[in-house]
Structure 1
Amino acid sequence: MNTSTSVEFKFTIPESTIVEIHTALTHKKLTSKHLVEFYLRQIETLNPMYKAVIEVNPEAIHEAERADEERDKKHPVSRLALHGIPVLVKDNIATKDKLNTTAGSYALLGSVVPRDAGVVRKLRDSGAIILGKASLSEWAYFRSSNLPSGWNARAHQPISPYVSTLDPCGSSTGSAISVATNMVTVSLGTETDGSILCPSSVNSVVGIKPTVGLTSRSGVVPISARQDTVGPMCRTVSDAVYVLDAIVGFDKYDATATRKASKYIPKDGYLKYLISTGLQGKRLGVIRDYPYFGFGNDTETLNKFEKHFDVLRRNGAILVENLEIIDFERIITMFNGEDIALTAEFKMALNAYLKKLVLSPVRSLADVIAFNKKHADMEKINKYPQDLFLAAEKTNGIGKIEKEALLNLKKASKLGFEKLMNDNNLDALVTPYSSGSSVLAIGGYPGISVPAGYDKSGAPYGICFGGLKGSEPTLIEIAYGFEQATKCRKPPVIMN
């Protein structure tokens, strides 16, 4: 099939959006099978260089053929937003099929999960095709403090498609690179602190880090139930919103968090917030002086973003500047509790996850540590020591130190970000790159990263809009308004 033929529109698969693909499918200028075959060829050609995909679904073509049959028979499911759309999911998100779920580690190779992750089940219910597993920083960047961004034992080191020497950022590295290089339509990533926002920023894609609990974490290899979240990583804001619409909502296997966050979900979904005038009247905080919360008085970074401040103003946004964070130094000291809390939470959460597997060579963090020692060459333990694992294994639940750390994190969120937002009546805080990720992470707040430009070397960078819990509708309006006003993203030049 010639994908460049058209009826009333020109269509090629690379860079196509969900809406454009559906239009091509409707006009019978494309089939889901052809779409999947195209991406499989892309992966075969490009993945040896970029290492963004750990494995592909051997049933993907069959799933695509089934989608085509449903469309031909005008089955009701064919009207769903993601029907026939291929999706790569990060390799720490469980799929109950012929794919492995390993978090990039050989320790989990061959393990059998009890069921699809909650978000995967919702993807399938929306008609999506699971194309395969995206590469990641092994164990979502929680094995070694010396691990390069994106590296894992199974797929090795991903490479930035824009600048080969650029840090591709993790842990959802493969999810970002795969959509940037047109190896898939859309992808899912996970974030505990920066793992969606950072790789989205440096690979020139859109990443949505949802409010914690808005998307289910069941079936996701965990770090912390308090901070973990699953979100879309796509080439456009609209595609990301289509995916977000599909994966949010209650899941009985992550009942407490998803029930609590369900109150934030608009009755008729998020698509109505894709309005080009979304910046009009929005109060956006721009903090020039403080690190973590803003630009840290970095002249070089500020110079990059001044043009975007002008764009925001011209499109009706109200920039609220020269903001002060009361008792900033004490709040930043409270941030130190994140490592203490995550280390203890990781051991408890991982042990619980491993025990629920139907089949697995490892059943505890201690087992994984032992596996890595036994297979040190394969896992490159001497080069990338498992110091984070060892520190976590020494913990014994939530004791006095951990409780104090958790209390400090809660205080830091209330006295820092929430107070800043509420006192200044802000709709969002604007930060460069992913520099605000820790602030958003420790409080469970949402953020959206949108491509914002390229430096002199061609390295991409994003702009992040962060808000209070449940503010996804407002953030989508802002992000979409900015994207439509700037159209910053350009695809990488692929060197075959």
Structure 2
Amino acid sequence: LLNIPSKIVLRNQTAALDVKRTAGKVKSKLHGILVILKDNINTHPDLGMRSASGSFALKDARPRENARFVDKIIAAGMIIIGKANLSELSNFRGERLPSGWSAMGGQCQSAYVRGGVLPNDTKDGHSIDTFISTLLSGLVVVVSAGFSPLNIGTTTDGLLVCPAGRASLYTIKPTIGVVSQDGLIPISHTMDSAGRMGKTPYDIAVFLDILREDGAPVCWKVQWQNFSVAAVNYTERIFPPTYMAPVESATIEMNRQFQDAYDTLKVRARKFSENVPLPKPELASVNDKDCKPMIMLNDFRHDFPKYLDSLEFAPIKSLQELIDFNREHAEVELPPGHANQKVLEQAAELNLTDSEYQEYLSKMRRVCQVA
């Protein structure tokens, strides 16, 4: 954990919630339940926690208010007990960096792996257990280790589903807009989504109903027979050994459980389609440039300065100042093994016209709709 509220604050909160429960005034199904936030989610300084995305450049930043869904969490009677470590700036800083590391929090490791990170492991290998440790790192560890039953983090590119799978947790990535993006340290307004993880599907379904903006029917009451489900071939959706070295015993067990889940869905879902093909990445490209990173880089170039402008106090004022800060404080921000910020530099140097950006965005959406 990077931040923990004072014991006095937490004791006062829990005492007040106990009084309400005793009086029969339960605020929600998760009244009194503990939750941990990712460090890129705004909380007002009165809550006693920073909002820095693991970066010393943002250590003294002061949000004007809580993220919108943080107010919903508090109104539901949940208790925020801290902010968890993450890959600094949500893993949107450099190329091929070891995941789960931030300057403020250091290296995070899976709760299921003993002995520390192996020096010769792959970028997202078993000892780092990175899809536990990527963007969400500490969030997944605190739930899998039992510090809290629920967390809430953010994802831009699949990094709710992947870490939950590695940590034996459940998750749902909400459709963009179902949960407010207000108060997030952003990567891309086009792709960012706040979601949660937990140890049971019921918990995360109830939690989504607290967070959501659209007032849709409570999702924990929906029955499987109302759903049509499509699934990919799990034996093909694996990462190359250079990225994540396989562990044979783990692969066998995961495949067994995947198949058990598929077999259950075949019986319970209205319709289940297995081994659905996904479009090849090269289909989502314009002039041999992958649409997804171009969209993310362009969004970050514009969204990050807007976020800084929204703060009551911003220790840096621009993306370029962030890059300069990291260079000037290289001993903590760019130490050996983490000494590049090429993604930030690419975003700063990018100069897409609006029509070029729209071309990338339209192509990406067309490919996804076909899928």
Q: TM-score, normalised by structure 1?
A: 0.63
How far residue 71 of structure 1 moved from its aligned partner, in angstroms, is 2.4
Aligned AA (1:360): A
In 1, Cα distance between equivalents of 2:234 and 2:207: 35
In 2, Cα distance between equivalents of 1:322 and 1:168: 26
**1:373–1:381 Cα contact (<8 Å) kept:** no
Q: Does residue 22 of structure 2 align to residue 69 of structure 1?
A: no
Distance 1:287 1:120, change over 3 A: closer
Which sits farther off after the overlay, 96-105 or 142-151?
Answer: 142-151
In 1, Cα distance between equivalents of 2:165 and 2:349: 35
SS of 2:83's partner is: strand
Distance 1:397 1:128, change over 3 A: farther
1:87 corresponds, among 35, 42, 47, to 35
* Matching residue of 2:341: 386
Across the two proteins, how many residue pairs are aligned to each other? 340
Aligned AA (1:373): R
How far residue 208 of structure 1 moved from its aligned partner, in angstroms, is 1.3
For residues 131-156 of structure 1, what are the alpha-carbon distances to aligned partners after superposition, in whole Å with 9 as ceiling and x for unaligned?
Answer: 11011111011011232221111111
Q: Give the alignment's Cα RMSD to 1 decimal.
A: 2.8
Q: Percent identity?
A: 28
In 1, Cα distance between equivalents of 2:81 and 2:281: 46
For residues 13-36 of structure 1, what are the alpha-carbon distances to aligned partners after superposition, in whole Å with 9 as ceiling and x for unaligned?
Answer: xxxxxxxxxxxxxxxxxxxxxxxx
Q: Aligned ranges for residues 126-141 of structure 1 at < 5 Å?
A: 126-141=76-91
1:271 corresponds, among 184, 208, 220, to 220
Q: Aligned ranges for residues 47-446 of structure 1 at < 5 Å?
A: 53-58=1-6, 59-74=9-24, 76=25, 78-96=26-44, 97-164=47-114, 165-169=127-131, 170-249=134-213, 262=214, 265-267=215-217, 269-273=218-222, 275=223, 278=224, 280=225, 282-288=227-233, 304=256, 305-315=258-268, 318-321=271-274, 323=276, 328=280, 331-333=283-285, 336-384=290-338, 385-396=340-351, 398-415=353-370, 417=371
In 2, Cα distance between equivalents of 1:396 and 1:270: 42
Q: Aligned ranges for residues 439-454 of structure 1 at < 5 Å?
A: none
In 1, Cα distance between equivalents of 2:326 and 2:179: 31
Distance 1:331 1:241, change over 3 A: same
Q: Which runs of 5+ in 1 are unaligned?
A: 1-52, 250-261, 418-496
How far residue 318 of structure 1 moved from its aligned partner, in angstroms, is 4.2
**2:229–2:269 Cα contact (<8 Å) kept:** no
In 1, Cα distance between equivalents of 2:163 and 2:351: 33
How far residue 361 of structure 1 moved from its aligned partner, in angstroms, is 1.2
SS of 1:362's partner is: coil
Q: TM-score, normalised by structure 2?
A: 0.83
Q: Which runs of 5+ in 2 are unaligned?
A: 115-126, 241-250
